[in-house]
Amino acid sequence: MSTMTAAYLRPRDSKPENLKELKAYIKSSELSPTWFRETDDHRSMRPEDRPALGRAVEFCKNKNVALSAVCLTQFATTKHEALAFLKSAGVEFNVIESPSINRNNVALALDIALDDVKAVASRSKASLEKIQAQFANGKAHVSKAGNMVSKLGSPDPSLANKRKSEIVLARTMNYFKTLSDFKEQGLSYQQIADTLNSHGIASPTSTKTNPKLWYASGVRNYYLRGKNAKKKLNTVSVKTQ
């Protein structure tokens, strides 16, 4: 049995702990890895179109080794798409978080995954038909969150845009006070960004799983937007007095 493996990582799902977990698996299995890492430009492509993944599969075929990854979402967004790709690739593979799935039973695993998708779609259709029947009888539907729903469909775009603007304004003003204080101290935009980063204050575009740094351009944009918003609010306040 070969002691080599093609270790694959995709940025979208390559958090530090995933890399650590894959390295630990390779070490415990006494494997010699050849790494294939997808670039940010290619991470959203379909699995069959991704260059690094394609090279990894070819490497596996040429060297007769297994393809290794942490989880199925390294290969595709959904489980059934990932299984379909692995089935078509026709190579041995090791998925750490799904150890029971292998080349020999991937077709069966794909069938089960597709059945699950169909079952979800069937339940969703049944729920939709039930809600539509309620509307037809002049009744409102109560969602799981306790909200009253009187019709189905996309929300009024004007209301959605208004709500989005309110959220953006609130977030802008939340940061403006801090940025304004730094500006009054004579700090440049770059110095402010460095200070925020050094104190571990995440930028507005950060998420729980993807923290991002402040940059001078972002500081400037938020500061100027906040300054303009405050100016408009003061103008409105004067007019209403």
Structural domain boundaries, residue 70: 4-104
Residue 216 has pLDDT above 70, yes or no: yes
Domain count for the chain: 3
| Cβ atoms of 36 and 6 closer than 8 Å | yes
Indicate whether 226 and 139 sit together in one domain. no
Q: Using the 3D structure, point to which of 119, 149, 179 is the last residue of a domain.
A: 149
Q: What are phi and psi of 178, to 5 degrees?
A: -65, -45
Residue 1 has pLDDT above 60, yes or no: no
Indicate whether 231 and 141 sit together in one domain. no
Residue 240 has pLDDT above 60, yes or no: no
Indicate whether 16 and 52 sit together in one domain. yes
Residue 241 has pLDDT above 60, yes or no: no
Residue 23 has pLDDT above 60, yes or no: yes
Indicate whether 13 and 85 sit together in one domain. yes
Indicate whether 77 and 143 sit together in one domain. no
pLDDT of residue 51: 92
Question: Could you count the other beta carbons within 10 Å of the beta carbon of residue 99?
Answer: 9
Indicate whether 143 and 184 sit together in one domain. no
Give the residue-averaged pLDDT of 50-70: 94
pLDDT of residue 230: 81
pLDDT of residue 54: 94
- Arithmetic mean of pLDDT over the chain: 81
Indicate whether 24 and 93 sit together in one domain. yes
Confidence of residue 235 (pLDDT cuts 50, 70, 90): low
Residue 146 has pLDDT above 70, yes or no: no
Q: Using the 3D structure, point to which of 104, 136, 165 is the last residue of a domain.
A: 104
Indicate whether 35 and 20 sit together in one domain. yes
| Cβ atoms of 7 and 22 closer than 8 Å | yes
Give the residue-averaged pLDDT of 19-41: 89
Q: Distance between CA 73 and CA 96 in Å, rounded?
A: 12
pLDDT of residue 135: 65
| Cβ atoms of 96 and 69 closer than 8 Å | yes
Indicate whether 9 and 97 sit together in one domain. yes
Indicate whether 207 and 139 sit together in one domain. no
Q: Using the 3D structure, point to which of 93, 120, 149 is the last residue of a domain.
A: 149
Indicate whether 170 and 78 sit together in one domain. no
Indicate whether 52 and 77 sit together in one domain. yes
DSSP one-letter string for 136-177: HTT-PEEPTTS-EE---SPPPHHHHHHHHHHHHHHHHHHHHH
